[in-house]
Amino acid sequence: MTLSFDDVDRKTLDVLWAMEAEDRIEAFRRGEFSAIPAEEVFSKLG
């Protein structure tokens, strides 16, 4: 099954992104991955 953002209404999309954000925050808190400070990321870009 292929899904597209075009096939989802804005409210549903917002709910799905909020759920994804919460899942990522919880995974970070559980130590499943680490974060990189923004300063480090921006210094590598610039």
Answer whether 0.85 is exceeded by the pTM.
Answer: no
Q: What is the pLDDT of residue 27?
A: 97
Per-residue pLDDT at 26 = 97
- Overall residue count recorded for the chain in this entry: 46
User: CA 13 to CA 33: how far, in whole Å?
Assistant: 25
**H/E element, 37:** none
Which residues 6+ apart lie within 8 Å of 13 measured at CB?
5
pLDDT at 5: 63
| Two structure tokens written together for 29 | 């808190």
* pLDDT at residue number 10: 87
pLDDT digits (tens), the chain, 46 positions = 566 767 778 898 899 999 999 999 999 999 999 999 999 999 999 8
